[in-house]
Amino acid sequence: MSIFWNIKDNGNNSRPVESNDQYNDESSDKKVKSKVYKKRSESFLRFDDLDLENIHIRNDVLLEIATFLSRRWSDNSESTIHISRDGKISTNLDKKRITLPGLDYFFGNIFQKYRQWRTLLWYESVRLKYSFKIFDTDVVFGFVFNILETKRIEILGLEEWKGMIKEIIYCEGLSWHNKLLLNSLHGKNKVLEAFSQFFLTGYIKGELYGGENERVINASEYAHGILRDYIKNFKLNNKTYDPIKDQKWLEYETRKIIKILQVDSLMSVPPIPILMPRSKVGLSMKQEEILSQIEKLVRTKTKEIEIEKLKKEIVQGDDINEEFRIIVNESKKNDNKGFETTENLSIVIPDNTGVDEIAIYDFDLINKVKTALKEWKTGWKEKYDFNGDEIEIENYIEKQPKVFISDKKIAINVKISVLLDLSSSIEDNEMEYKKATVALCEGLEYLGIKFSIYAFNTESRTVKCWVIKPPTARWGSIYARRLMQVKPVGGTPLAEIYKILQPSISAFKPDIFVTLTDGEPSDMDAVRSIVLSYKRSGVEMIAIGLGADLGDAIGIGYNLKYLNYQRILTLSKKRLQDLPKKVLGLLTTE
């Protein structure tokens, strides 16, 4: 994080300061606030009056407000938000996608976590608007470049969204407690972290001595100077900029700063935590500690404002209090599994126009599935056993325990329903996911099994349950076209989807109901309840957890096991071609 600074054009004064009128001029923020704010009454309670210990913010509600805010801040109607379970922070400029950690990754109580998360969302949104390139931070050049870029986009963003200054100061005050102590670092890494802290905040945590301290100060002053000149030219050019020209300029200045710091631009940089460590989850700083740290930050930046009044305003967070209250209330709605009414809950059929399903037909995978199912087709399967009709000579020579071959009857007289998670987190693997689903459907059709396929996503606060293939029809390209039509977007409102599907599932009466999901359900308790109701009606409930890798998949499976499913399977997104095998393996009884 970094602190807002406004440059005075008075000689060679390169020290960043804050503007006096920035706290009164919040007109730019009104368009955003009008969507979520209500006029406060005299009886309005601040966040510290709420029972913060028992508040839970649902991810689908969080994504909904985040998408709205990000599209306003980034001035891009196509930006999407993803929540990462491993604490990942990234912005994909080409795909217009922002990835942030969940609230639990942050330090403090739930309101403090939300304010930090919201500020980080603002940074990445203005980065999406103003950045032209993002380098990897595992080498010195990318590390220094991104520090300069963070300051640049912060200044440009606050030109338009002046009301964010208080939130930036608050987050800096809250996070400073867990920044790295320079004394714990050594060599060039210590110099780089010191430059990051001093340039972005105006002071460092720890001590620097001799030449290292001088180099950090000189590099910081030089960086402030070039950005001051950049902003001055930006304003003179009617706030327009040339992305290619700006990129070359910033890369050139990055190399000069690296020379001042006397480090190798190709040297690797170990990961330096920006956010609070997971060991601090759930702990909140005392109000006195936050006030003290914010006062220090404000005094460091300027002496021209009313410190006592401002620091209390920053800590109270009244500007986003009502927004937070709305999110909390929305998360608490569970009478209808997360929504006040079921008007927006519906089963819909995708439009089959304007799409080509051939892109999700992997004929090699389909042939492999059908080849593996040949003996299933006959209803008999050869199996090694302790006794049987024939003897396997090679097994006997190798002294294997099972040397006989016996024919086993395979019973596949089952009906199955499959529910596909098409939330936004599957976007990176969308095509592989759909190819595996088509191969699964081809395999089920090859065996003559009755099955139905559904998918779900969330569009404009509306939960959508899509009928990909009804149970009464035979599989064909028309249904692959339906699958191709549904795009991954939104959260994981699993309880709502189960409720929508109950009449259809009750009519079809499948033996097995398989749910494929890569996210934690929005309302765990609601999912547990409705899964139990399905089980009572005689449906075997099975969940397959899809993870970014095997470890992530196991973690998802561990969470899913508390939701009353009879069986939990796991699958890495890197091995989506194994999906047909996983599902088809559930069907046989010998």
Mean pLDDT of 467-471: 92
Q: Which of 63-67, 142-146, 390-394, 531-535 has the lowest mean pLDDT?
A: 390-394
pLDDT at 262 over 80: yes
Cβ burial 472-504 (10 Å sphere, 16+ → b, else e)? eeebeeebbbbbbbbebbbbbbbbbbbbbbeeb
Tens digits of per-residue pLDDT, 321-379?
778 777 777 766 543 343 334 344 467 887 665 677 888 999 988 988 888 777 666 65
Distance (Å, whole) CA 443 – CA 448:
9
Mean pLDDT of 298-311: 52
| Identity of the residue numbered 212 | E
Q: By the 8 A CB rule, do 438 and 360 touch?
A: yes
Cα angle 393, 395, 399 (rounded to 5 degrees) comes to: 115
Q: Could you tell me the pLDDT band of residue 22, with boundaries at 50, 70 and 90?
A: very low
**Please, what is the average pLDDT of the chain?**
76
Mean pLDDT of 273-288: 41
Calculate what percentage of the chain has a pLDDT beyond 70.
Answer: 71
Distance (Å, whole) CA 526 – CA 563:
9
Q: What distances in angstroms separate CA 165 from CA 6, 29, 54, 105, 108, one per listed residue?
A: 11, 11, 29, 23, 20
User: pLDDT: is 539 or 209 the higher one?
Assistant: 539
Does residue 458 sit in helix, strand or coil? strand
Mean pLDDT of 486-511: 88
User: How many Cα atoms sit within 13 Å of 427 on the Cβ side?
Assistant: 20
The pLDDT assigned to 447 comes to: 85
Q: Could you tell me the pLDDT band of residue 1, with boundaries at 50, 70 and 90?
A: very low
User: How many Cα atoms sit within 13 Å of 515 on the Cβ side?
Assistant: 31
Q: What's the per-residue H, E or C state across 211-245?
A: HHHHHHHHHHHHHHHHHHHHHHHHHHCCCCCCHHH
Calculate what percentage of the chain has a pLDDT beyond 90.
Answer: 17
| H helical segments located in 447-476 | none
The pLDDT assigned to 370 comes to: 85
Q: Which of 170-174, 313-317, 532-536 has the lowest mean pLDDT?
A: 313-317
Distance (Å, whole) CA 178 – CA 283:
12
The pLDDT assigned to 223 comes to: 93
The pLDDT assigned to 71 comes to: 92
Q: Could you tell me the pLDDT band of residue 292, with boundaries at 50, 70 and 90?
A: low
For the chain, give percent helix, strand, coil, nearest 5. 55, 15, 35
The pLDDT assigned to 34 comes to: 45
pLDDT at 513 over 80: yes
Mean pLDDT of 474-503: 88
The pLDDT assigned to 23 comes to: 38
Q: By the 8 A CB rule, do 261 and 218 touch?
A: no
The pLDDT assigned to 241 comes to: 73
| The two three-digit tokens of residue 490, written as one number | 């939104």
The pLDDT assigned to 286 comes to: 55
Q: Could you tell me the pLDDT band of residue 390, with boundaries at 50, 70 and 90?
A: low
The pLDDT assigned to 510 comes to: 92
Q: What distances in angstroms separate CA 270 from CA 140, 143, 172, 190, 579, one per listed residue?
A: 10, 10, 22, 11, 36
Phi, psi of 93 (to 5 degrees): -65, -35
Distance (Å, whole) CA 306 – CA 285:
23
Q: Which of 171-180, 202-211, 303-312, 555-564 has the lowest mean pLDDT?
A: 303-312
Mean pLDDT of 45-62: 64
Sequence-distant (6+) residues with CB within 8 A of 397 are: none
Greatest mean pLDDT among 50-54, 122-126, 302-306:
122-126
Q: By the 8 A CB rule, do 205 and 180 touch?
A: yes
The pLDDT assigned to 501 comes to: 92
The pLDDT assigned to 118 comes to: 92
Q: Could you tell me the pLDDT band of residue 73, with boundaries at 50, 70 and 90?
A: very high
pLDDT at 424 over 60: yes
| The two three-digit tokens of residue 582, written as one number | 């996983």
The pLDDT assigned to 107 comes to: 76
**In whole angstroms, what separates CA 427 from the centre of its chain?**
11
The pLDDT assigned to 393 comes to: 65
Does residue 506 sit in helix, strand or coil? helix
pLDDT at 126 over 90: yes
Tens digits of per-residue pLDDT, 81-101?
888 767 778 899 988 889 898
The pLDDT assigned to 552 comes to: 79
Taking alpha carbons only, the member of 71, 91, 88 closest to residue 131 is 91
Distance (Å, whole) CA 409 – CA 590:
6
Q: Could you tell me the pLDDT band of residue 261, with boundaries at 50, 70 and 90?
A: very high
Domains in the chain, CATH or no CATH each? 30-130+319-332 (3.30.2010), 136-278 (no CATH), 346-380+410-584 (3.40.50.410)
Mean pLDDT of 408-419: 77
Mean pLDDT of 66-90: 86
User: pLDDT: is 51 or 554 the higher one?
Assistant: 554
Tens digits of per-residue pLDDT, 154-196?
888 988 888 888 888 887 777 766 677 887 888 888 889 889 8
Q: What's the per-residue H, E or C state across 385-402?
A: ECCCCEECHHHHHCCCCC
Q: By the 8 A CB rule, do 586 and 451 touch?
A: no
The pLDDT assigned to 384 comes to: 60
Distance (Å, whole) CA 178 – CA 105:
13
Q: By the 8 A CB rule, do 77 and 71 touch?
A: yes
The pLDDT assigned to 348 comes to: 82
Does residue 346 sit in helix, strand or coil? strand
Q: Could you tell me the pLDDT band of residue 226, with boundaries at 50, 70 and 90?
A: very high
Mean pLDDT of 281-286: 42
